[in-house]
Structure formats: C-alpha cells, structure tokens
C-alpha cells in the first residue's frame, strides 16, 4: 500500500459551496501490485 496526497489540486467538485467541499473530502484507495510511476499509470491500472 502506498499513499499520495493531492489536497485541493484534484477536486471532484467546485469548492464554492459546502456541497462541493463535502464531495472533495474523501479518501481513495487503489489496490495495485506495484507502486505506479505516475498518477496516469494509476488511472490505467483502474481500467
């Protein structure tokens, strides 16, 4: 398992209101065999 934090750089919704901020407070867990070299590699692993 590895972790990578993106903070406010990759929001799912606009942070303009409470509903959007609520959507952006999240933890995503991705199970992989190896640590991806980049975030784009992690996206490819999800498919």
Interval 19-45: pLDDT, tens: 999 998 988 887 878 776 766 655 666
Task: Give the pTM.
Answer: 0.51
CB atoms within 10 A of CB 23: 13
Cβ within 8 Å of residue 13, ≥6 positions away? 19, 20, 21, 23, 24
Poorest-confidence range of 8-12, 14-18, 28-32, 42-46? 42-46
């Amino acid at each position: 398992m590895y972790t990578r934090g993106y903070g406010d750089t990759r929001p799912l919704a606009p942070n303009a209101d409470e509903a959007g901020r609520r959507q952006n407070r999240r933890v995503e867990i991705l199970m992989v065999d190896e640590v991806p070299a980049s975030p784009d590699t992690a996206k490819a692993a999800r498919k």
